[in-house]
Amino acid sequence: MLHVDVLSVLTDNYIFMLVDETTQICVVIDPAVADPVLDYLEQNNLTLSAIYNTHHHNDHVGGNLELKEKTGCEVYGYGPDRDRIPGMTHPLKEGDMISVGDSQAVVIFAPGHTLGHILYHFEKDRKCFVGDTLFSIGCGRVFEGTPAQMWQSLEHFFHMPDETEIYCAHEYTLANIRFAETLVGEDVDLLSYKEKCLEKQGRGDPTIPTTLGLEKHLNPFLAVVSADYRDHIGFSSSSSLDSFANIRAQKDHF
């Protein structure tokens, strides 16, 4: 079984520590900074075997070199981004399999936020590490790609089971809910999710992970796939892609 611990760093970043419970093998997803990871390893008496990066932004790779130097770990990332991901030792491509002890993940190429963004999907463990592609009730800004590329990347989520836990790299949930409310108004399910998130944040707990089933239902950037939802937000005559692009543009200026 794969165990995940969430480290909260910088303003709103999450670093995920993955530990295979059988072998005690430990990897880190997107170490924005090194110190909290080093502290975690020491407190839990673990050795870091690898860093898995989702994309090259500094708030995801900032701790790479220090961790590599201090622990001797391997560094995995999207191959063509080798020059942008510090210390890369293992270039990855779409469809590659990686493992954390007995748990395996498939690498999914998901450009849009950047042109080299990847997701790590642990199918059997029902967990997906999505970097800045999907957020709870939101999605990443389209910095390097096109809205069409981002939409194609998001479409991967429709092929994953609803119970999949989604590990997003930022705590943006409440701000995203405020935006979603401008689209759907007083939605009972969204309100009840907001209450839950407010409670968690009030206790100082992350709202992450979220689940894919909830996101398909409440996240405007996934829900647009449904004609009923498009009707509801006044985009009846638009395609999923056009509606997605429109909402993404609105959110950019929210």
Q: Which stretch binds Zn ion (CB under 5 A): 9-17, 54-62, 174-182, 245-253?
A: 54-62
Rg (C-alpha) for the chain, rounded Å, is 18
Question: According to the binding rule CB under 5 A, does residue 59 interact with Fe ion?
Answer: yes
- Contact present, 53 and 30 (Cβ < 8 Å): yes
Asked if 57 interacts with Zn ion (CB under 5 A), we say: yes
What the block records as the tokens of 140 is 């990443």
Segment interacting with Fe ion, rule: CB under 5 A, options 52-60, 118-126, 188-196, 215-223:
52-60
- Nearest approach, Cβ of 8 to Fe ion (angstroms)? 14
Asked if 184 and 27 count as a contact pair (C-beta separation under 8 A), the reply is no
- Return the residues of window 96-135 that contact Fe ion according to CB under 5 A: 132
96 makes contact with Zn ion (CB under 5 A): no
Nearer to Zn ion, 57 or 127 (CB): 57
Distance from C-alpha of 30 to C-alpha of 58, rounded to nearest angstrom: 9
Question: Quick one: what does residue 81 bind among Zn ion, Fe ion, none, with the CB cut-off 5 to 8 Å set by partner type?
Answer: none
Quick one: which segment of 18-26, 53-61, 144-152, 216-224 binds Fe ion (CB under 5 A)? 53-61
| Chain-centre distance for alpha carbon 62 | 17
Tell me: does residue 81 bind Fe ion (CB under 5 A). Answer: no
The angle formed by the CA atoms of residues 127, 129 and 130, to the nearest 5 degrees, is 130
Q: Are 15 and 45 in contact (CB under 8 A)?
A: no
171 near Fe ion, judged by CB under 5 A? no
3-state helix, strand and coil shares in percent for the chain, rounded to the nearest 5: 35, 25, 35
Which residue number, 133 or 243, has a Cβ lying nearer to Fe ion? Answer: 133
- Measured from the CB atom, the residue of 51 and 183 that comes closer to Fe ion is 51
Among residue numbers 105 through 144, which ones bind Zn ion (CB under 5 A)? 132
Nearest residue (CB) to Zn ion, 63 versus 101: 63
We find the least distance from the C-beta atom of residue 55 to Zn ion, in angstroms, to be: 6
**Do you find a cis peptide bond into 209, omega within 30 degrees of 0?**
yes
At its nearest, how many Å lie between Fe ion and the CB of residue 101?
27
> Is-contact 122 134, C-beta < 8 A?
no
The answer to whether the beta carbons of residues 86 and 65 sit under 8 Å apart is yes
Binding positions for Fe ion, rule: CB under 5 A: 59, 132
